Amino acid sequence: MNEIVSTITHYVKQKLENEGSGHDWHHIERVVQHAEVIAKAEGANDFICIVAALVHDLADDKIASTEAEGLKEVERLLEDVNREDREHIIEIISSISFKGGNRPPVTTLEAQVVQDADRLDAIGAIGIARTLVYAGAKGDLIYDPSITVRDNMTPEAYRSGQSTAINHFYEKLLHLKELMNTAKGKELAQQRHEFMEQFLDQFHDEWAGRK
């Protein structure tokens, strides 16, 4: 492994090892793995994709005290990366988060790859598990039919408004397949998407006493 990548890997690993908000080190490892696969298929710059995947959650407001502080930390961490690549990586991590959905599409191929890699880890069996853990940590219910599904949320409403674990599938996760940027990302999302649909069908059948 390239020395810069190895230093950054160590830093991120020790920082996120015990993170409990669904952004733990294993999430990062999976996103790096997806990013490598997609970058290869799409002909993207793999160094940029791997490093951006490694640092993509460090500026998240659940991990850093503020997004600006988090971005400063990433800049320090990337001091040995050449300026052009560093600016590109910072640009990627500032632009890929979902935050309610009303965000402009990302522009560079590498940003598309990392966003797809992060989104893949939000769907499928892993996505279901992360959603349940996140909802539990936030104090949300598994499901409550009286709480309606929201659309077109502001970032604030997305973060702090009332929701349930099951509503999160309709508010975000079921949209991700269509939002994938790359052909490889779309291909990998398909089966994970179908698995979530099966889970929701079964959930509603059990809830209604049909199964």
Alpha carbons 140 and 122: distance in angstroms, whole number = 18
Site for ligand ADP in 51-80 (CB under 6 A): 60
98 belongs to the binding site for ligand ADP (CB under 6 A): yes
Q: Find the shortest distance in angstroms from Cβ 117 to ligand ADP.
A: 12
Measured CA to CA in angstroms, residue 157 lies from 151, 169, 211 at distances of 10, 16, 34
* Residue 98 binds which of ligand ADP, Ni ion, none (CB < 5-8 A, kind-dependent): ligand ADP
Report yes or no: 211 and 205 within 8 Å, Cβ to Cβ. yes
- Could you give phi then psi for residue 96, rounded to 5 degrees? -90, -15
In the complex, least distance from residue 185 CB atom to ligand ADP, rounded to whole angstroms: 15
Q: For 103-166, what is the HEC assignment?
A: CCCCCCHHHHHHHHHHHHCCCHHHHHHHHHHHHHHHCCCCCCCCCCCCCCCCHHHHHHCCCCHH
Which position among 8, 12, 16, 22 is part of the footprint of ligand ADP (CB under 6 A)? 22
Residues 99 and 59 sit within 8 Å (Cβ to Cβ) = no
Residue whose C-beta lies closest to ligand ADP: 98
Q: 57-96 mask for Ni ion (x: CB under 5 A)?
A: x---------------------------------------
Residue 47 binds: one of Ni ion, ligand ADP, none (C-beta under 5 to 8 A by kind): none
Residue 61 or 85: which CB sits closer to ligand ADP? Answer: 61
Q: Give how many residues touch ligand ADP by CB under 6 A.
A: 17
Among 34, 56, 88, 172, binds ligand ADP (CB under 6 A): 172
Q: Kindly provide the b/e burial profile for residues 104-138, where b requires at least 16 CB atoms within 10 angstroms of the residue's own CB.
A: eebebbbbbbbbbbbbbbbbbebbbebbbebbeee
List 110, 116, 118, 140, residue binding Ni ion (CB under 5 A): 118
Shortest separation between residue 190's beta carbon and ligand ADP, angstroms: 18
Per CB under 6 A, residues contacting ligand ADP are 22, 60, 97-99, 122, 127, 130-131, 134-135, 140, 163, 165, 168, 172-173
